[in-house]
């Protein structure tokens, strides 16, 4: 797929890529100059593992309203992209053969990160409202050995675009509290809400259990800066993460953090996020309308309230094989099989709408649906 997408005439719904035309290039250039004028050599020097104080303080203030409580800046750890956060969590919590609890399907990048530490997986049923609490309770009741943690994406999940229903969130926290199971809450898309009211993070519920919150600037500024964050109230866990990060890279890039902080502290930032949301909403609508127009009855699909992905299923079709046929028609997507730890469901497809023009969204969907019709004749 990667080879095919290098060709300019191929329409790709495959990558989880932000729209590059929305990157704030001029503003980042200005911020870079301002950072060098203000901080000089300090922005190019080694820094502390936890992250520069300015970034940690900004995040503590920005996250506090959603968490409905004060967030100490000391609880924040800056990481080199969310993927490093997942790797560090795996490094300190997983021994070979340990179980991790996942939504089914779940984020492929998390599975890859945990695979590196030889994890095994217990999967929980999901529906259009996200993880099913009753299924989680059954899984934990029967678990032997007991898992190390639960990993989930509650907002506009990757790959499905689903959002965990509001009335399920505290139930999941309480179930994990009862079983003393740590939660890793990954929230890369939370600010990309198109409609509806924001729902409380799992992190916001008072609990005697452990909840780690993972966020990123990749979707609201630019992924190339690799600025992301972990919020870890548990001091013992946080210290282990810091030690693991020291062994991995000493600290995230100082210059990138200073530039990121300068931009998100500017007047342009909030307007920029609104522009992203508005653009992605239109693109979601175009992809959804094209599916309504072109999809045969055997294809079902959802209508996510935000994020970057729409999930479709083609009954009776192995979408890995479908991908090869679609590539010949110059359009690609990610087959759903890879998002299931057991690789036992083969009819799904993740469709990214953030990184294509409205014209290409419509053309690409028509090509995929036409290919499905041709292979099912």
Q: Give which of 210, 216, 211 is closest to 201, Cα–Cα.
A: 211
Residues 241, 354 share a domain? no
Alpha helices by DSSP H, listed for the chain, are 2-5, 25-39, 53-67, 81-93, 108-115, 133-142, 166-179, 235-249, 254-264, 268-294, 319-328, 358-375
Q: Is 326 helix (H, G, I), strand (E, B) or coil?
A: helix
> According to the model, what pLDDT value does residue 375 have?
87
Mean pLDDT of the chain, nearest integer = 96
> According to the model, what pLDDT value does residue 2 have?
63
Does any domain span residue 224?
Answer: yes
Residues 234, 254 share a domain? yes
CATH number at residue 334: 3.90.1150.10
Residues 360, 284 share a domain? yes
Whether residue 1 contacts residue 349, with contact meaning beta carbons closer than 8 Å, is answered with no
Whether residue 332 contacts residue 322, with contact meaning beta carbons closer than 8 Å, is answered with no
Cα–Cα distances in Å, from 129 out to 1, 79, 116, 126, 133?
A: 31, 30, 30, 7, 11
Q: Give which of 116, 123, 59, 124 is closest to 93, Cα–Cα.
A: 116
* Residue whose pair of structure tokens reads 């300015």 in the numeric block: 54
Per-residue pLDDT averaged across 261-271, rounded?
97
Residues 220, 139 share a domain? yes
Phi, psi of 361 (to 5 degrees): -60, -45
| Dihedral angle sign, alpha carbons of residues 174, 161, 187, 195 | negative
Residues 311, 238 share a domain? no
Q: Give which of 217, 192, 364 is closest to 279, Cα–Cα.
A: 192
Per-residue pLDDT averaged across 195-221, rounded?
97
- Two structure tokens written together for 190: 């939370």
Domain boundary among 243, 264, 285: 264
pLDDT tens-digit series, residues 134-158? 999 999 999 999 999 999 999 999 9
Residues 326, 197 share a domain? no
Does any domain span residue 252?
Answer: yes
Query: Structure pTM?
Result: 0.96
Number of domains within the chain = 2
Q: Give which of 158, 181, 173, 151 is closest to 86, Cα–Cα.
A: 151
Does any domain span residue 30?
Answer: no
pLDDT band with cut points at 50, 70 and 90 for residue 7: confident
% the chain with pLDDT above 90: 96
pLDDT tens-digit series, residues 271-297? 999 999 999 999 999 999 999 999 999
Domain of residue 297, residue span: 2-24+270-375
pLDDT band with cut points at 50, 70 and 90 for residue 8: confident
Whether residue 306 contacts residue 163, with contact meaning beta carbons closer than 8 Å, is answered with yes
Whether residue 325 contacts residue 3, with contact meaning beta carbons closer than 8 Å, is answered with no
pLDDT tens-digit series, residues 299-321? 999 999 999 999 999 999 999 99
């Amino acid at each position: 797929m990667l080879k095919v997408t290098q060709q300019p005439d191929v329409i790709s719904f495959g990558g989880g890529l932000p729209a590059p035309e929305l990157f704030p290039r001029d503003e980042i250039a200005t911020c870079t100059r301002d950072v060098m004028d203000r901080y000089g050599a300090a922005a190019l020097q080694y820094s502390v593992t936890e992250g520069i104080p300015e970034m940690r303080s900004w995040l503590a203030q920005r996250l506090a309203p959603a968490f409905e409580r004060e967030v100490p800046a000391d609880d924040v750890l800056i990481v080199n992209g969310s993927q490093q956060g997942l790797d560090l969590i795996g490094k300190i919590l997983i021994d070979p053969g340990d179980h991790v609890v996942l939504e089914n399907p779940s984020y492929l990048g998390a599975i890859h990160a945990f695979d590196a530490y030889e994890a095994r997986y217990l999967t929980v049923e999901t529906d259009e409202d996200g993880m099913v609490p009753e299924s989680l309770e059954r899984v934990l009741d029967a678990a032997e050995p007991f898992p190390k943690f639960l990993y989930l994406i509650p907002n506009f999940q990757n790959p499905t675009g689903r959002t965990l229903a509001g009335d399920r969130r505290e139930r999941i926290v309480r179930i994990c509290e009862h079983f003393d199971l740590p939660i890793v809450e990954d929230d890369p898309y939370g600010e990309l809400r198109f409609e509806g009211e924001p729902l409380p993070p799992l992190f916001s519920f008072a609990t005697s259990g452990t909840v780690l919150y993972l966020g990123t600037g990749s979707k609201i500024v630019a992924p190339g800066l690799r600025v992301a964050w972990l919020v870890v109230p548990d001091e013992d866990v946080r210290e282990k993460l810091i030690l693991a990060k020291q062994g991995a890279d000493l600290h995230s890039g100082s210059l990138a953090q200073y530039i990121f902080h300068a931009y998100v502290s500017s007047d342009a930032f909030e307007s920029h996020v609104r522009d992203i949301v508005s653009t992605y909403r239109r693109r979601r609508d175009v992809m959804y309308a094209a599916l309504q127009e072109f999809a045969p009855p055997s294809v079902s699909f959802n209508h996510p309230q935000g994020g970057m992905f729409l999930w479709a299923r083609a009954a009776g079709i192995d979408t890995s094989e479908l991908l090869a046929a679609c590539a010949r028609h110059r359009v690609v997507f990610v087959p759903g099989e890879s998002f299931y730890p057991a690789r036992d469901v083969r009819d799904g497809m993740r469709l990214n709408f953030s990184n294509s023009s409205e014209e290409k969204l419509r053309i690409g969907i028509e090509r995929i649906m036409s290919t499905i019709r041709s292979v099912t004749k």
